[in-house]
Amino acid sequence: MTDLDSRGALRAPAVQWPTVSPVNDDLPSPAPDAWRGPRPGVAAGRGVSPSRARVKPPVPATGAWREGDPVGGRQFADVGTFDLESGARLPDVRVAYETWGTLAPDGSNAVLVLHALTGDSHVSGPAGEGHASAGWWQSLVGPGAPIDTDRWFVVAPNVLGGCQGTTGPASTAPDGRPWGSRFPRVTTRDQVAVEIELARSLGVTSWAFVVGASMGGHRVLEWALLGPESGIDVVSLAAIATTAQTTGDQIAWAHPQLGAVRADPGYRGGDYYDAADGDGPHVGLGIARQIAHATYRSARELDDRFGRLPQGGEDPFTDGRYAVQSYLDHHGDKLARRFDANSYVVLTESMLTHDLGRDRGGVEAALAQVTAHALVVAVDSDRLFLPADCARIAAGIPGAEPLRTLVSDFGHDGFLIEFDQLGPIVADFLGERASVRD
């Protein structure tokens, strides 16, 4: 019999949706219903049953490390005042960093690890007081790991403009208030200039190996030129999932992320550090992270993993979400709780300045000046820093090995996930350098 509603119209059949259950593995997964409270713009109890929802604590105005917070494994170096490329002067710069291993008497075993956009100095080691999560690359760095801290003296600084102990917008300015909106723009070269002073303070006159991926790879390439110019040799390097020059496509992806943060009323032009929990720029920062995260993963992975499946207990035909939307919501919330909106803006804008060829006769001319033995690694499914970007680096550095490529469904994030491929590549490369030195 035809199913009619009270007005005599055909009643739409109830949609029977398959669902996605959260996966308990090492990869980020869709947020379980129990992890989240009501979504912005959705009344409490709609979309998620109140009996299943558990409201999270409000998001703090900033997830930055602040003076008085637990130090964890951080060490600090005061490296002075810097005249930045913007023309601004930044006084009393402090660098937070971590080290592993022991510097050899002749200084020949120093390794510099440079983090990506939302990373920090905690490359290796457990979560604990001062560190909300375990080291982001500890499969690669540690005792017996490819970068073996029983052999190498490893240094990992938090980048200038960051929010985990190095001078940045959340840091205290000379007047006793947070820098906030007054923090100047910084470039990739400014960041490396600060890291050069850190190296000097540590007594490092030569890096046996400088390695980084994504934004960290930008600094690796600048180190290859600025280091030797400053009297600090770079013997070998690894530039992973990165580029020698930020492209129009990469700038385009960054633009709406910056707009999302700045459009949040809680951003207050960058001066929000005295805001109450829940009243900071977490919505804008979360949206920025969602945009970015979509570029960090491949279309193949998102479609194979989520497709058009709804989040469990929700109906996308009413006010519910698809599972991939829940996944992005989870990652936006997660970053907003551990990072700082101003640092996100400052570091994203620093990435836009990256151009190894600026004032050096172009990218190819600059790459040709690199004297370090180079390893360049691409991810085949990377849609942020394309394999072609990496191929350009490998082709341009005279001492570069042939381009190595990780085969991965995970896109740009493959450099964090595909350890079974990346680890042996790095170990073999360092083994070659050791045999040359010996």
Output the pLDDT for position 165: 98
C-alpha 215/C-alpha 196 separation (Å) is 17
The reported pLDDT for the residue numbered 33 is 30
User: Which pLDDT score, from 0 to 100, does residue 9 have?
Assistant: 37
How high is the pLDDT of residue 55? 78
- Annotation-wise, does 177 bind a ligand? no
Give the pLDDT means over successive 10-residue stretches in the chain (438 positions). 36 36 33 30 33 74 96 97 98 98 97 98 96 94 97 98 98 98 98 98 98 98 98 98 98 98 98 98 98 98 97 95 98 97 98 98 98 98 98 98 98 98 98 53
Q: Which of 121, 124, 171, 214 is catalytic?
A: 214
pLDDT value of residue 4: 36
pLDDT for residue 435: 42
Say whether 412 is catalytic: yes
Regarding pTM above 0.85, the answer is yes
Report pLDDT for 56: 85
| Structural domains of the chain in order of their starting residue, each with its CATH number | 75-246+355-437 (3.40.50.1820), 250-349 (1.10.1740.110)
Looking at residue 54, what is its pLDDT? 63
- How far is the C-alpha of 139 from the C-alpha of 212, rounded, in Å? 14
> How far from the centroid of its chain's Cα atoms is residue 133's Cα?
14
| 3-state class percentages of the chain: helix first, strand second, coil last, to nearest 5 | 35, 15, 50
289 annotated binding-site participant: yes
Choosing from 33, 264, 355, 382, the catalytic residue is 382
Closest CA to 155 of 188, 193, 198: 198
Q: How far apart are CA 224 and CA 397, in angstroms?
A: 10
